[in-house]
Chain A
Amino acid sequence: MVRIIDRRFDSRNKSTVNRQRFMRRFKHQIREAVADAISGRSIKDLDNGESVSIPGKDLSEPRFRHGRSGIWETVFTGNDQFSTGDQVNRPQGGAGGGSGKGKASKDGEGEDDFVFNLSREEFLDVFFDDLALPNLVKTQLARIQEYKSQRAGFTNDGTPANINVVRSLRGALGRRLALASPYQGRLRDLQRQLEELLETRPDDDPEVVRLKDEIGVLRAKIDAIPFIDTFDLRYNNRIKVPKPTTQAVMFCIMDVSGSMDEEKKSIAKRFFMLLYLFLTRTYEHIDIVFIRHHTVAKEVNEEDFFHSRESGGTVVSSALELMKEILHSRYANGAWNIYGAQASDGDNWDNDSPHCREMLAQTILPFVQYFAYIEITRGEQQNLWREYEKLLGAHTNFAMQHIENLPDIYPVFRELFKKKLA
């Protein structure tokens, strides 16, 4: 009578398509929500999924339904104080009494925000949507230096180690069948004749002997067909395909001088985190070099980079010098995609800024894919900015942006990495 069916292992994620369609339809709102989320929270959780809320009215499904005014007479439960004919004030906010139209409808999100969770992948997809690493393709083409070997069918020659036994024997079998077939046909004929003859004639009849001889010759010919021939051999074929360089190194250069207060550092930190996440989506392997500087530059670990406090004057060229050294000592073999990002409040020792520009132009920019400078200042840009500006026309792999406040980070980031039409 009853059928019990275990469906637990049936197709899962039946709603995935619907979910994707939902995401696609509200891409715009979701992207806005993601941008909001990013400016409002600590970068550390960025890597997790995100709870996103988009305005309820944007995704409401309109229906013909009643508005709230007019005459409504509704039954409620739990009368604790009323008698017929009582007059009561309209409750504020509508809960409970009021012109309640019975239960809120099933989809009754009303004007409330619609909140839902994006998975990490979805979140990052939205987040980095339409962004691309500049110059990535070009370098890949220009620097094919690594190869990987991969299977590419079979060939007729090769080294014994690569012999493919199954393929070779399959060929040998086919060849043997093909070469033997004329003899086999003749052999069958002769054998039939022989049997017919033997019914009427003795074994030593000359005709019988002749047939037997002929059969013997044919058998020998068939046996002479080689079991396997060099002709049959097949070898696994492997070819070398260029392997795109999938490793990158990112230099994070941050000014930690006295003029960089906590807020500026936190802005810089968020910016670097974004960059890091973005790079992890493009490259399999990423090295990060943290360089911080005041009057002297130092390579530090992540913890120190973001947290330890320093103060003093500012000599930006010290950091660039250190970057150049590390670049040449560790990442000079051409296998690395090199990115640089520098964050500073632009307040440099006056005579140092022109020097920085020169260093950047001559010893760094020729080797890197992209170098981005962000200046975190309220108001007027500083002397470093003005020097760097001179680089803009001549170097396509250099970009600079100005950040005033936390909410600027995401737009600036998008500006720096937005997909450029070729």
Chain B
Amino acid sequence: MNTPGRHKRKKPLPSPGEWSFELIDAYHVEIDRVAREFKLDTYPIQVELITSEQMMDAYSSVGMPVNYHHWSFGKSFLQTEKGYRRGQMGLAYEIVINSNPCIAYLMEENTMTMQALVIAHAAYGHNSFFKGNYLFRQWTNADAIVDYLIFARNYLTECEERHGEEEVELLLDSCHALMNVGVDRYKRPAKLSLTKELTRQRERAEYLQSQVNDLWRTLPTQLAKAPTVEHRRFPSEPQENLLYFIEKNAPLLEPWQREVVRIVRKVSQYFFPQRQTQVMNEGWATFWHYTLINTLYDEGLLSDTFMMEFLHSHTNVVYQPGYNEPWYQGLNPYALGFAMWQDIRRICEHPTDEDRHWFPDIAGSNWQETFDFAMRNFKDESFIAQFLSPKVMRDFRLFAILDDDKDAKLKISAIHDETGYRRVREILSDNYNLGSREPNLQVWNVDLRGDRSLTLRHQAYLRRPLAGDTEEVLKHVARLWGFAARLEVAHEDGSIECLYECRQDRRKHDKP
């Protein structure tokens, strides 16, 4: 594989500290050219220059250019603001939106070097990942997201005007509490489209309201028949998407409330892939800013001053402290991801015997094709299970600790040695598995014939309990459901235990 642009010395681009629109354009032209030579496939790019305050705005509304209003975004704005004032945030000040065209924000305060770095990182790295990775292709619709958020904000504003801010806020609180159990994990959601959403919204609301009567229909209208029939379970299968279940089945929600539940669910679903591809995505973007900028430097387009500043930032981004250093905060996804992608390239280009043994498929293969395959078809969990090499484990000096609360001491279960590689890799992969990181909760049963209470079941895994604020969440469930909500835990030995019960009869509080 001939790497593009080697050994061609060109006249360097100017590299003043201050950026200008002309310069951004000039740098972008070069970055774009090199990225095309590397065959990066991206959405069209829209670069937007914003102030730090606007960046904080975007940051606090989960990184989106528009979003509905909620106090929790105000809270995160205050947090972000504080962090920024104290200078704690660093390069994190780059936001890219998985939309078509892909919107990348550049902050006014950045130097020209940083702008170039962010363009390479966000507008080419993340952008191509959004366009290629199967999770994003399957779960998000880049064409429609911005329109959908505009629809959502307008709809919620309308709801606030009609039903009062407080009412909407309480509803959103409850929905937010269930956000991480409000995603489909295995089913393709319907595509979003602003026009369709708008035209179908009313229709759907009416239809839903009529469907809800399902609950009432099961009341014994024909007493003669009922006793002999075995009661149908509802839901017939346990369901994992709480918000979806509530949206479709909660008996007492108003149509507008169902729509709000739906909006929160859709937004949550949109971010679902991001939560599962942190290491891959950040590593991919870091790899590409590093590779693109270095290629430009090799061509002679970049000055040494530019490179020094660039390398300084890059090193900060991929810094990984050890477990016993005070600023250790777990594995840095930038560092791990960058190392892994670099390593895959190395395995392809310069494989060792160890690599040939561990990765017979990719050792010595075309690195760009391997990259494309890996980027498209994996998420963090499977990416690590598939591609984490002994070399990276040695470089990071990875080791695993087993913490069993029944044992007095912690146990080192595996380290970066011949006997431990597979085990470490397995554990690290599991650390990134959302399925084991987050509790497994399902809608278990609705007591159709009794008090209409909703029962959730937590499938315990490795004796991990639910956190202390679980009861609070259950209150939110009960508020949405309108009747009592119960939470059971199914222990691994098969025993069932009722953890909390939250009684609620919404009909009493219903306003006329």
Chain B residues with Cβ below 8 Å from A63 are 177, 179-180, 469, 473
Q: Is chain A's interface secondary structure helix, strand, loop, or mixed overall?
A: loop
In chain A, what residue has the closest Cβ to B428? Answer: A75
Instruction: Assess A65 versus B49: contact at CB under 8 Å? Given A73-B401, A104-B329.
Output: no
Q: Do residues B46 and A3 form an inter-chain contact, with CB atoms below 8 A?
A: yes
Stretch at the interface among B293-301, B358-366, B431-439: B431-439
B181 interface hit (Cβ, 8 Å): yes
Partner of A3, one of B45, B173, B464: B45
Q: Considering the chains assembled together, what is the distance between the CA atoms of A73 and B438 in angstroms?
A: 14
**B72–A61 touching, CB < 8 Å:** yes
A160-196 interface with B by 8 A CB criterion: none
Chain A residues with Cβ below 8 Å from B469 are 60, 62-63
> Given the known A-B contacts A73-B413, A82-B412, are A115 and B82 also in contact in the complex, defined by CB atoms under 8 Å?
yes
Q: Contacting A2 at CB < 8 Å: which of B46, B323, B331, B473?
A: B46
A92 at the interface (CB under 8 A from B): no
A66 touches B438 (CB 8 A): yes
Interface flag for B346 (CB, 8 Å): no
A137 within 8 A of B: no
B404 beta carbon closer than 8 Å to chain A = yes
Contact mask for chain B residues 41-74; partner A; CB cutoff 8 A; 1 contact, 0 none: 0001111111101101100110000000111111
* A35 CB, min distance to chain B CBs, angstroms: 20
Interchain CA distance A240-B76 in the complex, whole Å:
50
B414 beta carbon closer than 8 Å to chain A: yes
Residues of chain B within 8 A (CB-CB) of A73 are 400-403, 413, 427, 430
Listed stretches B24-32, B196-204, B229-237; interface member: B24-32
Residues of A within 8 A of B476 (CB): 62
B-chain residues with CB within 8 Å of residue A101 when the two chains form the complex: 437
Contact A96 B323 (CB under 8 A): yes
Chain B proximity of A72: nearest CB distance (Å) = 5
**A11: shortest Cβ distance to chain B, in Å?**
9
Distance from A212 Cβ to chain B, minimum over Cβ atoms (Å): 70
- The reply on A117 being an interface residue by CB < 8 A is yes
Closest to A5 in B: B48
CB-defined contacts of B330 to chain A, threshold 8 Å:
100, 102-104
| A272: min CB distance to chain B, Å | 32
Q: A7-B50, A78-B322, A83-B415 are in contact. Are A62 and B472 (CB under 8 A)?
A: yes
Q: With the chains together, A82 CA to B410 CA distance in Å?
A: 12
B397 x A12 contact (CB < 8 A) = no
Q: With A22-B71, A72-B464, A77-B397 as given contacts, are A84 and B412 in contact (CB-CB < 8 Å)?
A: yes
Distance in angstroms from B332 CB to nearest chain A CB is 9
Give the distance to chain A from B126, nearest Cβ to Cβ, in Å.
15
A97–B410 Cα distance when bound, in Å, is: 9
A22:B329 contact, CB within 8 angstroms: no
Expressed in whole angstroms, the Cα–Cα distance for A18 and B180 within the complex equals 22
Q: Is the beta-carbon distance between A18 and B463 smaller than 8 angstroms?
A: no
Decide: B74 and A19 in contact? CB cutoff 8 A. yes
A18 touches B438 (CB 8 A): no
Chain A residues in 8 Å Cβ range of B73: 15, 18
B411 interfacial by beta-carbon distance below 8 Å:
yes
Q: With A2-B47, A62-B470 as given contacts, are A78 and B324 in contact (CB-CB < 8 Å)? A: yes
Interface pair B323/A4, CB less than 8 Å apart:
no
Contact A87 B179 (CB under 8 A): no
Tell me the complex Cα distance, A99–B400, Å. 11
Say yes or no: A75 contacts B412, CB within 8 Å. Answer: no
A 81-92 to B, binary, CB cutoff 8 A, 1 in contact else 0: 011111111100
Most B-side CB within 10 Å, residue of A4, A15, A101: A15
- Does B77 sit at the interface, judged by CB under 8 A? yes
Known: A1-B32, A8-B108, A66-B466. A74 touches B60 (CB 8 A): no
Given A15-B74, A18-B74, A98-B403, do A71 and B463 touch, yes or no (CB 8 Å)?
Answer: yes
Q: Is B321 an interface residue (CB 8 A)?
A: yes
Give 1 or 0 for each of B154-197: 1 = CB within 8 Å of chain A CB: 00000000000100010001001111110000000000000000
Query: With the chains together, A83 CA to B397 CA distance in Å?
Result: 11
Bound-state CA distance A75–B79 (Å) is 29
* Contacting pair B47 A4 (CB below 8 A): yes
The answer to whether the Cβ of B420 comes within 8 Å of any Cβ in the partner chain is yes
Q: Is the CB of A78 within 8 A of B412?
A: no
| Cβ–Cβ < 8 Å partners of B329 in chain A | 103-104
Find the residue from B71, B77, B165 having the highest chain A CB count within 10 A. Answer: B71
In the complex, what residue of chain B is closest to A18 when comparing beta carbons? B74
Is the pair A62, B396 in contact by a Cβ cutoff of 8 Å? no
- Taking CB atoms, residues of chain A closer than 8 Å to B165 are 21
Q: Which of A14, A18, A77, A84 contacts B322 (CB 8 A)?
A: A77
Residues of B contacting A62 in the complex (Cβ-Cβ under 8 angstroms): 177, 469-470, 472-473, 476
A8, A85, A114: residue with the most chain B Cβ atoms closer than 10 Å: A8
The answer to whether B511 has its CB under 8 Å from any CB of chain A is: no
Q: Give the residue name and chain of the B residue nearest to A111 (CB).
A: B468
* Residues from chain B with Cβ under 8 Å of A67 in the complex: 464-468
List B contacts of A116 (CB < 8 A).
78-79, 81-82
Within 8 A of A (CB), among B73-112: 73-79, 81-82, 101, 108
Q: Do A4 and B74 touch (CB < 8 A)?
A: no
Residue picked from A3, A18, A90, A109, most chain B C-beta under 10 Å: A18
Cα–Cα, bound, A88→B320 (Å)? 23
CB distance from A208 to the nearest CB of B (A): 72
Distance in angstroms from B339 CB to nearest chain A CB is: 11
B353 at interface by CB-CB < 8 Å? no
Kindly provide the distance from the CB of A65 to the nearest chain B CB, expressed in whole angstroms.
Answer: 5
Q: Of B28, B431, B462, which is within 8 A of A74 by CB?
A: B431
Chain A residue nearest to B472 in the complex (CB): A62
A6 and B21 in contact (CB under 8 A), knowing A62-B472, A75-B424?
Answer: yes
B57 engages A14 (CB within 8 Å):
yes
For chain B, residues 97 to 131, give those with C-beta under 8 angstroms from any C-beta of chain A. 101, 108, 123
What chain A residues lie within 8 Å of B493 (beta carbons)?
none
Known A65-B466, A90-B410; judge A25-B403 contact (CB<8 A).
no
Do residues A79 and B399 form an inter-chain contact, with CB atoms below 8 A?
yes
B441 in contact (CB, < 8 A): yes
Q: Given the complex, which residues of B lie within 8 Å of A99, measured CB to CB?
A: 403, 405
Closest chain A residue, CB of each to CB of B82: A116
Pick from A20, A65, A96: contact of B328, CB under 8 Å: A96
Residues of A near B72 (CB, < 8 A) are 18, 22, 61
In the complex, are the beta carbons of A4 and B24 less than 8 A apart? yes
Q: Does A205 touch B at the CB level, under 8 Å?
A: no
Shortest CB distance A105–B (Å): 10
Does B398 belong to the interface (CB within 8 Å)?
A: yes
Per the bound structure, the CA–CA distance linking A6 and B25 in Å amounts to 13
Tell me whether A22 and B431 are in contact (CB under 8 A).
Answer: no
Residues of chain B having any CB pair with chain A under 8 Å: 21, 24-25, 28, 32, 44-51, 53-54, 56-57, 60-61, 69-79, 81-82, 101, 108, 123, 165, 169, 173, 176-181, 320-326, 328-331, 396-405, 408-417, 419-420, 424, 427-428, 430-431, 437-439, 441, 458, 460, 462-470, 472-473, 476
Of all A-B residue pairs in the complex, the 9 with the closest CB atoms, nearest first, are: A78-B322, A22-B74, A70-B464, A18-B74, A62-B472, A103-B330, A62-B469, A76-B323, A116-B78
A–B Cβ pairs within 8 angstroms, 25 of them: A3-B101, A7-B49, A7-B54, A8-B50, A15-B57, A18-B71, A21-B69, A22-B74, A25-B71, A59-B75, A62-B476, A65-B467, A66-B464, A66-B465, A70-B405, A72-B462, A74-B400, A74-B401, A76-B323, A76-B400, A78-B322, A79-B398, A87-B411, A97-B401, A109-B79
Knowing that A64-B439, A70-B463 touch, tell me 14 more A-B residue pairs with CB under 8 angstroms.
A1-B32, A3-B44, A3-B46, A7-B49, A10-B54, A62-B476, A63-B179, A64-B181, A67-B465, A73-B430, A78-B324, A82-B415, A86-B412, A95-B326
